[in-house]
Each structure stands twice: as structure tokens, then as C-alpha cells.
Structure 1
Amino acid sequence: MFQTFTETASPDQGPARLSALQDLMRTEGVDGVLVPRSDAHQGEYVAPHDDRLAWLTGFTGSAGWAIALTDRAAIFTDSRYTVQVKAQTDTVFEKVDWPGTSLADWLAEALPEGRLAYDPWLLTVAERRRLAEKLPKLTLVPMENLIDRLWEDQPAPPMGAVFAQPLELAGEAHEDKIARLSKTLAPVEAAVITLPDSLAWLLNIRGSDIPKNPVPHGFALLNADATVDLFIAPEKLTDLGDHLGPSVRTHAPDAFIPALKAREGMVRIDPASCPVAVHEALAQPVEGEDPCILPKACKNAAELDGTRAAHLRDACAMVRFLAWLDAQAPGSLTEIAVVKKLEAERAATNALRDISFDTIAGTGPNGAIVHYRVTEKTDRTVEDGHLLLVDSGGQYVDGTTDITRTIPIGKPTAEHREAFTRVLKGMIALSRLRFPKGMAGRDIDVLARVALWEAGLDYGHGTGHGVGSYLCVHEGPARIARTGTVAFQPGMILSNEPGFYREGAFGIRIENLIVVEEAPERPGQTIPQMYRFETLTLVPIDRRLIDTDLLSEAERQWLDGYHARVLDTLRPHVDDAAGDWLELACQPL
């Protein structure tokens, strides 16, 4: 229906493709080439046309790099993909823990000087600067993409139709967004917009150029005179009618670079997302943040109301799924059957536009692969005594959801229950938190880990990411992580998802979405402004995995209160069978 289960890339072809690339490098007179997982728009997600890293190496994760030299090659992935990258790539690619070892660190040993080729559309200004500063003797050579010259059956660039996001869901007319943001540009005359979700948010449009992310590919110039120049394939706009209006001028994509070269004044570029090719085309580039990033993250009242409605709808689908799952005998299902059933329940809402990412349904050792994606080759039976980790979400026109639940199949072990409860304690700690204005993810991430650290345990990923409003399920700029430096503001939607993974055995993750809101003042409060989190996700947390002796009284009260809210909210919306299951699942501890 929404997810396929065939392997999209194979390690078997890696050595031959690497060899062909190395031959081409020698012909072009370069000593190495960068192969990022990125496209010209520099969003997190890429279309099949742009998945060059997977074509070369076989790795299908959402973040990574490869560096090919004439005599060796390496692939760089973070801790989410330690297991996956080993399974998907051949040994000709050295496996490098990134960002623990940066590209520059590795190149300083492997290619301290010479000629390193890169596609100027696929490398950002900030990335090129880091390499140039750390490797002064290495010559960075902009070049036509070498992978594209070898990839004979490369898919065509995406041409998904663009459609309007209704004003009642967007909460603010795009003309008003343009006018509001244009006032922040001085002294520059325009700002370059490359990120697909920034473009979609600014113009109140959505698209289908990226699987499971309703965004279009295009570029824009937000002008200080409250107009926008939009560079996008005209065939994408046939269903848009007169939505854009007179404040938005449309142009073909091939007019983008000439338009940049024609600008004589100062133009803002975001070095974190601006391709080198854009920077090089401007006479006076000025660095600053994408003007849409922060306003997009701070959802307005209409967006939050829509998100709450989407979460209610999604929670009912999850409850129906979980009730069905509990009724199945251990050993009677496989991971693929689990995914199909969950997607069918979401589709049965008759409101689902797509899933928000490939559903993660990992049992036993597959659950320990953080971003596991089941295929026909890896499909495991859901066996008695195992844990099943299910991380999934839906794209609805009024909101984007993302939820993880871990379910015991049969009787859980003492190790399962202790680890799960320590993860739960971290999730509850963030859910109950009140914090002063100005705090960022790095200030609170530790709270999700304390209970795990006490037992010598931890997890390698961040605790939370931003989430869009019928946009990308991963959204910046705020995050709950040791690297999260952006202060939380009301309206920001984040995930709260601590976990624990025993490689080769099991995985545990509990995830709710939360939204930052102002906290009511308490008697005697001396901090002028406090914030807290509202929990958006309303699905029971499996009580069978909880060791209640490890919970404090405050934690028990929070969980009982959460389950009472879940029951009161969902019971009128689910049928008798799911309702009976829900009442049992939401009983007090």
C-alpha cells in the first residue's frame, strides 16, 4: 500500500561501481571525490534521482557520506546506522563513525594534499569551509557530478504536482508570511530559499517530490519588497490555480542561476543549507539563517489545532492496531504483516495522505537497529519472549504524527522490564518538566538519560527532533540532544524518544510528540517566564513492561494521569473490541 519491502540497494554492486568511479577519477585527474547523501535543495530527504550514496555503496540510511580515493574508500555514518551500514555495504568501504571522526579528520590522514572533486550543488557553503580550513593543502575541485555520468538507469528528477495548503490549516496567508518575513531582511535585498519545507511553508503549498514528505522541489528568492521569485518546473503548478497571487512571480528552474548573477546588491544565504553553486553565482552573498526556519517551527494556533486532530485520529488507528496485535498468537506474525496491518488501520481513517516515514517494525535483534526497515530478506517472525519495537507515523492534511511503542510478545524478561522502565523514566522526566525561557535541547537531554546512566546504559541517538505541520517528520532548528543549541519557543513540536538497544538481542524506544507551551505561574515564582510540554500523542504505554518498583510516586502519578487522559479522549472514538482493550491497557498501575 504505502511501503514496499524489497531491498532497494545491494552491497554486491558496490565494488564494481567503486572501481568504475575510480577509473573516471583518474581520467578527470582528481585524487578523490565526495559523495554526500544530499541534493541541490539540501533537505534531509532525497528523491530516488538523488540517492547517489545508495547507488554507490548500497547504504539506504537517511544520513551519511562516502569518500572515494583512487586506492581506498570510506563511508561515514552516525550511531543510528552502525549495524545497518555493516549489513548494506561491502568491505571495500571502510566504516567510519561520524561525526566522531569527521570527513576532514579522515582526509587529513588519507589525502592531506591533492585534488578532491565535489559537486557544487551537493556541498553547502559551511561544509566546504570546514574542509578548506582543516585541509589547507587539499585543493577542492568543483566538478560535474561523476556519479551521474556512471549511473545509467538513474531515475528522472521528480515532477510531483504542487497543491495549496488551506488557509484554515496554515493559519496565516502566504502573502502575510511574505510581508512579515521581508521586514526582517534589511540590509539585504533578498534571501535565498533552497530547503523544500521552507518553500512549502512560506507559500502555503505542498508537493510530492520527496517520498512520504509533502514538499516540492524548487528555489525561491524572498525579496525585501514583500514579493517572491519562485523557480520551479511549470508543469508542477497546473493544479495550483491562482493560489500564489501577484506577490509571487514564477520562473523556470534554469532561470535561477542567471537571476542570481543579475543581483548586484546583498543577498542572504544560509551557509548550512546553501549549495556552493548558489553562493558562487552571487555578487554580494551575506550569511544568515534561512528566514523561514524559526517561524516555521513555532506553530500557530491553527496548526496546533490541526496537529491535535491528527493525533486523535492517529491514536485511534494505533489503538485498533495494538488491540489486534495483542489478540494474535506468538509466532503467527512476521514484521511485514505487522507493518501492513498498521498501515491499513491508518488508511482506514480515510484521511491519510501517506505514512510519514517507512514504518519500523523490528522484533528481537532487528529491534536493536535504530532505523531498521524490514524487507522480504530480513523479515522475522514475531516470536514468544521477544520484544517488538514499532516506530511509525502518518501524514494527514492537518498534521504529521510520529510514535514509537515497544510491545512484549509473551512474557518479558527481567532485563526487558528493567531497561524499558529506565527508558520510561527518562520519557516521563521530560514530559513533567518545567523550564525557564532560554533553555535549549542540550540543557535537558541529560534528564532522559539519568535513569539509564545509573545502570551503565545509554543510547546513541538524540532524544528528540522537531516535527512539521503536514511537512517533514524531521524538522529543525530545535532538537533535544547534546548538540541542540536553539532555545525552545512556544509552538515548537518535538519528539520525546529515549531508548535502549542491546545489539543482537532487542531494542526499546518510547516516543511521544510534545509541544512547547507557556507554563502557568506558581505562587512565589521568581523566574519571569517558564515553559512546559503538552503531550500530543495519546496511546497507551505497555504496562506489562514496567517494573513499578523502579518508579517514583510522582512518575506513577504522571503515568496514571496520562492513561486516564488517553482513555477519556479515545474511548468515544473506538469500537467495542478496541475499547475493551483500551480500558485494560489504561488501568492504573
Structure 2
Amino acid sequence: MAARNVLCLIFAFTANAVLGHIPYNEYNLAEPDAAQYYVSSSYPRNTNDNSLERLTAVRSVLQENGVDAYIVPTADAHNSAYIAPSDARREWLSGLRGSSGTVLVTNSLALVWTDSRYFTQFENEVNLEHFTLMRQGIDESIQTWLVQNMGPYSVVGVDPTTYTRTAWNTLESALTAVNVTLQATPENLIDIARERIDDPAPARPNDPLMPLEISFTGRQSSEKLAELREQLSSREVSALVLTALDDVAYTLNLRGSDIPYNPVFFSYLILRSDLTAPNNTILFWGNGDLSSDIIEHLASEGTQLEVLPYEDIFSYLGDMSNELPIGSTVWLSQDGSHAVYSAVETSGTVNILATLNSPVVMMKCIKNEVELRGFRSAHIKDGIAAVRGFRWLEEQVAAGVEVTEMDLSDKLAELRSNETDNYGPSFSTIAGAGENGAMIHYSPSREGPQRVITKDDMVLVDSGGQYKDGTTDLTRTRHMSASPTPEQRRAFTLVMKGQIQLATTVFPRGTVGHTLESFARKYLWDVGLTYGHGTGHGLGHFLNVHEGPSWILSGPIATDPGISAAMIFSNEPGYYEVGQYGIRHEDVVEVIVVDRNADHPMAEGMVGDFGGLGALGFYTISLVPHQTACLDVNLLTDFEIKYLDDYHARVLATLGPILQDRDLLEDYAWLEKECAPIRSAAVRTTMPVLLVAFVSLWSYVN
């Protein structure tokens, strides 16, 4: 009888723990081995047999041009976050495929600066015999290295179209102080070297333009141009030069496909107040000819343009500089290239108004109601595709079918393409199984061995779609057998707690992003853990998936104007155990006003609005379930459990009827299971095991 009583007590205690009523923590919360953070010997190194040939060709061109060191940034002439293959010079030279990095080539050294997202990837992709990793934020900066290592009267070269005026001035001042010259090379020396070894850069894309109707944009291009002209008038500016590709696309309600995943086109746009229409709005694009459908679209929106060839921009700016009256002002943003600034300065008699952000940046980061409705619609479509993709993946892996990371990436693209107004992925899908998930911006490649996803893998999937009504970006981390290790379960839960903390925070209007960032890190910090990337970025409306000027990063950003209602952000904390696994939870959120009537977890308790400044919060518009089976429920508060349960109820209520209407009943059944309330799901999955154990023990003691 005593044994039976003890057994009953054990069973009752265990059941209560499953239901979350008895808190306990069985995990060792020690910090991971720091030595593993940067290097993992489990990754094969890329020998990159062409490295020496390419470096030799570049060094030969440097010598011919009297350049002692050459800077090769990851950049194009428009300071784009993503670049076309024609501008991927740093990747061609070093082999590093990441989105960030700068190469410095001298006669004897080749150094690559990149941030912590790519430290591990560098070891895997770059020939370490010829290139040295310089860790941004840890090793000396490229400017410091040049100041300390370049001899007096040496020359540092750079293509002036690939360096902003701000970056140029900063570096030039530092080098001048040690008698080193910063020289603008008329041609890009990497392009010359590529020609020398019969490996020329791809031609610059010039794909057809696409009109974006007012049903998607909410404002005609003529309205946007009129607003810009009002700003020119108020500032007494003679001309505004727009250099960012998404600024041009947004202003004209046009889209393109010149840069992979980004619906933009190579162009410049100038607005002049000293000329009359149509010559006061000049688009530099292609060969200067627009197709009939684009002409009709612009005309329907009341917009008149003069169109000139893309390559004419610098000669036009020089001529304009000479034509404008002495003392005239030209407006540029500080992310304009040194080449553009230099062209405007041709006459020496024109003033430049250099602002942190272009006026278009401030227009496009605050979405209008049509754009906001579009974002919500796009995330419903994206949620359908993602749910179908994750269901497919788990069933295939469970059935023993070989599914590679590339297969998963292709499947998600295929499912998104089935949704209306989809124009492909919004970036290269990050599908990292096991150890590959620890490389923060890893993307599978079709070249070389393919990583097969197994039942034991934690899989990190970061993907998104471009839709005419909005741009999406989503990350879900799922364990293929829903049985992570205790360490993985702990990390999965701590990252989730951080995401919920940021998602439910209320803050004053105008708060800058870095003020909020620590909310997402708190629970990792509590146990000595962190992650090496920012927590949030803005998203464009059928534009770039990363859109400034507002960011949620660990440090201040000079261009951040503060958060306002109707902005769109990502919320994406993570944790990465190098060589083992990666975890990231990412949703897209809309900034909303928070009062007692708001759809926000803190609405009911609101008693003020920060003295009239205005209270803001986030509303999650991504609609894909989290894998609650990977959570340690005992680390969650009741508030966090309710937040997840409410979110999953909304996901099911929104996506479920669509799946049923399409007769996608297997997908619906999977979604229903994944959206079950957390505690009832825990009972469903755990109680059968406990009952079997209880019956066995009961039989034994009897």
C-alpha cells in the first residue's frame, strides 16, 4: 500500500509539472564555450582554387595604377543593401557569400572585414591561405588598420561610386593626417582585373519595369512628387537628387527586377525647381526609352518625366552644376556616393544640402492605410504557403524521404508562387539544418554536397516573399521530431520569451529602436547568453526587405527618426550554438497606437499616453504557428502562455477557413494541431507516456 501511495504521489507531481503548475528548472544554464563561437572544425574549408589567380590579377592592376591598397566594399552606386551580380566584386574576389564585408588588397595581404553573422561562414567559404578574417567590433577597423600600416605618401584607392560621401570624408581625414592619399579610381580596378583573366563581371541588369497600381500603393506618383516639390520650395532648393533605388521606385510607383529579390531598377531621379514640366523631373534609366505600358501608367497618375540613359547621370549633374545660378542649393542624402557629390560640385559654386535621410525615406517608412492592408493580406498568403511548407517538410522527413535544405527552399518558393500577386522570394532563403542553422545568414547552395535534413535536426528557416501588396519576412525554428535536447529546449524558450517581451512592450512615440532592443535579449542575458545580430529592421512595401531609416539594433543609428505609428518592423531574437544548431523566432509587426481600445495585450491596463506624447506598441501580422512542443512550459509565465495561445487561436481562425475552402484538409489538420493551446497540447503529447509508465509500475508493485 505504501508503494502504491508513493507511486500515486509521483504520478500526481509529474502530471502537475506537465500542466505547468509546479515550476522547476533542470537545466544547466552555463554560458557556452566561447572558443566555439568563432571557429568550428566540423565545417569543411572551401579551397577556392581561383583565389591566388584573382588576387594576382588585382595586384597587377593596382601596381599599374599606382595604388598601394585597394578597398573593395560590398556596395553598388546606390548604397543598396542587396546588390546585383554585376556589383558583387567582394564576393568574386574573396569567395565569402555573405551580404556584408569589405576586402582590402595590398601587394602582400588580403584582409576581409565582416561582422559576427559571417565569422563561421568565412571559415567555411574563404581560402584561408590567401585571406585573413578581420572581425568587425573585435579587431581594428579598416580605417585604423590603414592609418597604422600604410607608409607615408602611399595611395589607397577606391571606386567613388561604391563609397558614400560620409564614409569618404571620414576615411580621407584620417589618412591625410598620416600623409596617405585616398584616391578615387576612374574605373573599378576589380572589373579591370576580371577582364584580364577572361572572367568579366556580368552585364548590369536592365529588366522591364512594372507599374504598381494605386489599388496597391494608395497614392499616385504625382501626389508624391507634389509633396516633394513642396519640400524643395520650403527649403529654397533648386534640385533634389534621389540616388537610392527604392526611393525612385516608391516615388514613381514603379517596380523592377534588376537586383535579385528586390523589386527595384537601376536608376536616378532628379527633381528641379528651376525648370518647367516635363523637364523638371528627370529619370535616368536604361537607354532612356520607356515602354508604352509604363508611359500610360505614369500618364494615368498625372506624372510627366524626361527620361535619359542611366549612364548620363554624372555628365548631367556636372552640366546642371554649371547651369544653376551661383549659390544655388542641391539636396542630397548622406548615403549618396562620393561620385555623385563630386559631380554636383563640378562648378564649385553650388551649395549642397546634405540630410541624414532623403525626404522619400520619411514618406515611405510610414505606411498609408492601403499599404497596411496590403501587408496584412500578404502575410495571410505567406502564412498559407509557410504552413503548407512546414507540414510537407515534417511528413517527408518522418517518412524517411531525403529532403535537402535546397529542397525545402525550393518548396517554399513553389508554394508562395501559388499565391496571388507573388513575385518570388524577398531574399535568399536561409534553411539551416543542425550545425548550418548556427551560421546566422547561411543559405544552401546548389553547388557541392547537399545537407539532408534528418529527424534529429533542429532546422532554422528564415524566408519571405514579395507580393504586390507587401513584403514578408518570417523565421521559424522547428525540431524534426519535436524532441530537442534540454539545452535546445531551454534556448528555444528563452528566445521565445524575448520575442514576446518585445512584441508586448508599450513605449512613447518617437522612441528610437536601440532603446527597445534589450527587451528582446533580457532572458538570454539573464543566463549569460546573447546573439550576434540586430533584433529588428523596417520592411518596404513590395520593396526591399530591409528598409531604413528605423532599426532595432544594439547601438544607436544616426538616421533613426524615432518610431511612429504605421511603421513596419521585424522582431527576430535568436541564439546560435556554433557547430550544433541555431534558433531564431521572427515575426513582422505593425506599429499601432496603444490605448484601452487597442488590440494589444497591455491595452486593458493603459491609464495614460506618456503625457500626450502617444503610446505605441506592436501588433504581429505574421501568421505561422510556433512549435510549442519545443518549449519548456515551466520557464513561461501565465502571461506568455496566454499570449501564445491567443496568437495561435488567431492564426487558426485566419488561415483555417482558407485551407478548408481550398480543400487542403491535411494542411488544416496539421495547423489545428500546431495551434492547440499549450497546456492541452502538453497533456496530449505527454500523458500517454505517463499512463504507460504508471500502468507498468502499478503492475509491478502488485
* TM-score interval for Structure 1 and Structure 2 normalised by the shorter chain: over 0.9
User: Does residue 1:98 correspond to 2:168, yes or no?
Assistant: no
Q: What letter matches 2:162 in structure 1?
A: L
Q: Which has the larger radius of gyration?
A: 2
* CA displacement 1:365-392 (0-9 Å, x = unmatched): 0000111111242521212222011110
Instruction: Decide whether the 8 Å contact of 1:466 with 1:475 is kept in 2.
Output: yes
Change in CA separation of 1:154 and 1:340 when aligned onto 2, cut-off 3 Å: same
* CA displacement 1:210-257 (0-9 Å, x = unmatched): 011100101111234794211111467324133334532211223322
User: Secondary structure at 2:104's aligned position in 1?
Assistant: strand
1:42-441 counterparts in 2 under 5 A? 42-91=79-128, 92-100=130-138, 101-111=140-150, 113=152, 114-136=154-176, 137-143=179-185, 144-152=187-195, 153-185=200-232, 186-224=235-273, 227-234=280-287, 237-238=290-291, 239-245=293-299, 246-261=303-318, 262-263=320-321, 264=324, 265-271=328-334, 273-283=335-345, 284=350, 285-288=352-355, 289-330=357-398, 332=401, 333-376=403-446, 377-410=448-481, 411-441=483-513
User: Secondary structure at 1:328's aligned position in 2?
Assistant: helix
- Stretch moving more, 238-247 or 372-381: 238-247
Q: Which residue of 2 aligns with 1:581?
A: 670
Partners of 2:459 and 2:581 lie apart in 1 by 8
Instruction: Decide whether the 8 Å contact of 1:391 with 1:403 is kept in 2.
Output: yes
Q: What's the offset of the Cα at 1:404?
A: 0.5
Partners of 1:84 and 1:104 lie apart in 2 by 24
1:503-522 counterparts in 2 under 5 A? 503-520=578-595, 522=606
Q: What letter matches 2:641 in structure 1?
A: R
* CA displacement 1:418-447 (0-9 Å, x = unmatched): 000000001101111111112111110000
Q: Which residue of 1 aligns with 2:647?
A: 562
Instruction: Decide whether the 8 Å contact of 2:218 with 2:371 is kept in 1.
Output: yes
Aligned with 1:543 (options 610, 628, 632): 628
Q: What's the offset of the Cα at 1:99?
A: 4.7
Q: What letter matches 2:550 in structure 1?
A: A
Q: Which residue of 1 aligns with 2:74?
A: 37
Q: What letter matches 1:240 in structure 2?
A: I
Q: Which residue of 2 aligns with 1:447?
A: 519
User: Secondary structure at 1:292's aligned position in 2?
Assistant: helix
Q: What letter matches 1:504 in structure 2?
A: G
Partners of 1:49 and 1:469 lie apart in 2 by 25
User: Secondary structure at 2:649's aligned position in 1?
Assistant: helix
* CA displacement 1:248-294 (0-9 Å, x = unmatched): 221122332232122332111212x2111111111322211211112
Instruction: Decide whether the 8 Å contact of 1:361 with 1:391 is kept in 2.
Output: yes
Change in CA separation of 1:525 and 1:513 when aligned onto 2, cut-off 3 Å: closer
Change in CA separation of 1:456 and 1:526 when aligned onto 2, cut-off 3 Å: closer
Change in CA separation of 1:477 and 1:236 when aligned onto 2, cut-off 3 Å: farther
Q: What's the offset of the Cα at 1:10?
A: 7.5
Change in CA separation of 1:192 and 1:505 when aligned onto 2, cut-off 3 Å: same
Larger helix proportion of the pair? 2
User: Secondary structure at 2:644's aligned position in 1?
Assistant: helix
- Stretch moving more, 74-83 or 216-225: 216-225
Partners of 1:525 and 1:53 lie apart in 2 by 48
Identity of aligned residues (%): 37
Partners of 1:458 and 1:236 lie apart in 2 by 52
Q: Which residue of 1 aligns with 2:539?
A: 467
Q: Which residue of 2 aligns with 1:5?
A: none
Q: CA RMSD in A?
A: 1.7
Q: What letter matches 1:354 in structure 2?
A: G
- Stretch moving more, 236-245 or 397-406: 236-245
Change in CA separation of 1:236 and 1:587 when aligned onto 2, cut-off 3 Å: farther
Matched length: 580
Q: What letter matches 2:116 in structure 1?
A: S
Q: What letter matches 1:308 in structure 2?
A: R
5+ residue gaps, structure 1, are 1-8
User: Secondary structure at 1:30's aligned position in 2?
Assistant: coil
Q: What letter matches 1:259 in structure 2?
A: Y
* CA displacement 1:167-215 (0-9 Å, x = unmatched): 1111111111011122223122112111111110011100111011100
Partners of 1:576 and 1:254 lie apart in 2 by 54
User: Secondary structure at 2:436's aligned position in 1?
Assistant: helix
Instruction: Decide whether the 8 Å contact of 1:312 with 1:538 is kept in 2.
Output: yes
Q: Normalising by structure 2, what TM-score?
A: 0.80
